[in-house]
């Protein structure tokens, strides 16, 4: 097997997606290794998950910086120490500056809990319920300058049930997030996936639409 892809994972909270990535790195389902987990919040569960797995952690508290540019510059400096192949936003609840996105373009991915381009931004589950949608889901996308607007690599759909609340729907969506996110990271690690001219190239072919879960391989 080739050298594992080096990842830096950014979190702000529970880190259940981080856990799915940790587990798949550990059992060699994906050829990747996490260099560092960075959180903008102290004492979140995701930091404990990283520590339990023996992964280096760092808190960079955004409230300690004068503005977004200063915070993102500090973030870039710490991430660059790992020289990662891929920067993974796993529930990282900060809007990133153009300088940050440009610095990591093509090696920066995010998971968003909606079927993009529907429901960019926050409160995705409640918005899907309020709209009477019959399905919801999650999307993994390359990050570009537009918030939640970069090219979508993969999506997973789940049904919206009649009695769903934000909590029940979020839980159902999270279970599929834990499937698609590590899988996409695995493709990137295996060099099957690139961002080229703002388009996704997968297995040497330009994608015209996202890959839908469950994946063929």
Q: Which residues are identified as catalytic?
A: 112
State the Cα–Cα distance between residues 112 and 119, nearest whole angstrom.
Answer: 9
CB of 113 to ligand GRF, least distance (A): 4
- The span from the CA of 133 to the CA of 1, in Å, is 43
Binding flags for ligand GRF, 152-191, as an x/- string (CB under 6 A): ----------------------x--x--------------
Q: Is 120 in the site for ligand GRF (CB under 6 A)?
A: no
Nearest distance, CB of residue 14 and ligand GRF, angstroms: 4
Joined tokens for residue 14:
């529970």
Cβ 93 vs Cβ 12: under 8 Å:
yes
Selected binder of ligand GRF within 7, 15, 40, 193 (CB under 6 A): 15
Contact with ligand GRF (CB under 6 A) among 5, 38, 60, 90: 90
Instruction: State which of residues 49, 88, 109, 113 lies at the interface with ligand GRF (CB under 6 A).
Output: 113
**Is residue 16 a contact point for ligand GRF (CB under 6 A)?**
yes
- Which token pair is 170? 């979020």
Sheet (strand 108-112) strand order: 56-59, 32-39, 5-11, 86-89, 108-112, 135-142, 152-159, 211-212
Of 14-22, 153-161, 188-196, 205-213, which segment contacts ligand GRF by CB under 6 A? 14-22
**Part in contact with ligand GRF (CB under 6 A); list of ranges 56-64, 108-116, 141-149, 193-201:** 108-116
Q: Which tokens go with 132?
A: 């009477």
Write down the least CB distance from residue 191 to ligand GRF, Å.
25
Q: Distance (Å, rounded) from C-alpha 195 to C-alpha 67?
A: 29
Residues in the chain: 217
């Amino acid at each position: 097997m080739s050298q594992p892809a080096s990842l830096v994972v950014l979190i702000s909270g529970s880190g259940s997606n981080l856990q799915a990535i940790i587990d798949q790195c550990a059992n060699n389902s994906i050829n990747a290794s996490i260099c560092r987990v960075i959180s903008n919040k102290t004492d979140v569960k995701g930091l404990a998950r990283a520590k339990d797995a023996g992964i280096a952690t760092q808190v960079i508290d955004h409230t300690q910086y004068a503005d977004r540019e200063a915070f993102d510059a500090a973030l870039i400096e710490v991430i660059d120490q790992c020289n990662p192949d891929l920067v993974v936003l796993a529930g990282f609840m900060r809007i990133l500056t153009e300088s940050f996105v440009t610095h990591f373009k093509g090696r920066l991915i995010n998971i968003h809990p909606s079927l993009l381009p529907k429901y960019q931004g926050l409160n995705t589950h409640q918005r899907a319920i309020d709209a009477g949608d019959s399905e919801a889901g999650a999307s993994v996308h390359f990050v570009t300058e537009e918030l939640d607007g970069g090219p979508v690599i993969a999506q997973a759909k789940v049904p919206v049930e009649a009695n769903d609340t934000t909590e029940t729907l979020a839980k159902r969506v999270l279970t599929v997030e834990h499937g698609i996110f590590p899988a996409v990271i695995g493709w990137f690690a295996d060099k099957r996936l690139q961002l080229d001219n703002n388009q996704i190239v997968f297995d040497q072919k330009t994608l015209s639409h996202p890959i839908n879960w469950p994946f063929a391989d």
